[in-house]
Amino acid sequence: MTDVPTGEPRQFHPSWPAFHRRLLARMVWLAPLLVLALLIAAWPSLGLALIGLGGALMLGGVALAVYFRRTRVTVADGELRIRGPLRTRRWPVHAISTLVFLPLPGTRRATLYGVSPVLERMFVLSAEVWDDDELEAIAEAIGAPIVRAPAGLAVVDITERYPGTIGWTTTHPWAVVLLITGGTVIVMLMVAVISAFVLVATGEIPMPGPTPSPSG
């Protein structure tokens, strides 16, 4: 168990610089897919596509700023508290049966999972957002038994050997990509429609007038 006194709080934060570097690496292959989907959805209007792209990037930036501003993990008074963008979840540390460091398929950096005594997932702290040293410090502060899974395991092996860890988003990665792409396109179209409405309402884009009738 951890040697940290029960009343001494320990607080941990996700790493924006680390996430930013990994996001840029992901965008090398994800960005062309998103741009292609946007062009197809907005064709033949290139201006509409650019407005949608700018709006989606702005909303995504705001969402990430809120996430990294609010998210934190606190271990204090025998309790684990994980505050997310919208809510805070709490567990007594003695209720956490196992901590599993598990590299997801295709990666070598380990995500931290908290598993209950009935082999259900309690929480997950992604290696995409948290530094390795910070995850190790969180596990040390919690003090539950630690299991370290090897890298390179297939999804079926993970579900059999480490129940209570990965969920639907990991077992169906391409479905997640399609959902993200579709959601991004929908957001872009909504931004474009709202922008067009504002431009029409302010008179920047004139509405077409009635077609004159042919003279008798």
| More confident position, 20 or 102 | 102
Sorted by sequence, the CB contacts under 8 Å of residue 51 that are 6+ apart come out as 188, 191, 192, 195
Q: Residues 98, 147: contact at Cβ < 8 Å? A: yes
Q: Tell me the pTM.
A: 0.66
**C-alpha closest to that of 113 among 149, 89, 81, 88:** 149
Query: Phi and psi dihedrals of 214, rounded to 5?
Result: -65, 140
| More confident position, 51 or 149 | 149
**C-alpha closest to that of 123 among 100, 140, 105:** 100
Per-residue pLDDT at 50: 65
- Chain centroid to Cα 59, Å, comes to 14
For the chain, percent of residues with pLDDT exceeding 70: 57
Place of tokens 């570097």: 21
pLDDT band at 202 (very low <50, low <70, confident <90, very high): low
Average pLDDT of the chain is 77
pLDDT band at 134 (very low <50, low <70, confident <90, very high): very high
For 176, other C-beta atoms within 10 Å of its C-beta total 13
Residue-by-residue DSSP string for 147-184: EEPPTT--HHHHHHHSTTS--HHHH-HHHHHHHHHHHH
Calpha distance 80→96 (Å, rounded): 9
**C-alpha closest to that of 75 among 61, 57, 52, 92:** 92
Calpha distance 122→25 (Å, rounded): 29
**C-alpha closest to that of 49 among 32, 35, 29:** 35
For the chain, percent of residues with pLDDT exceeding 90: 34
Q: pLDDT digit string (tens) for 57-89?
A: 677 777 878 888 889 999 999 999 999 888 999
| More confident position, 30 or 138 | 138
Read off the tokens for 136: 């190790």
Q: Residues 36, 167: contact at Cβ < 8 Å? A: no
Sorted by sequence, the CB contacts under 8 Å of residue 131 that are 6+ apart come out as 15, 18
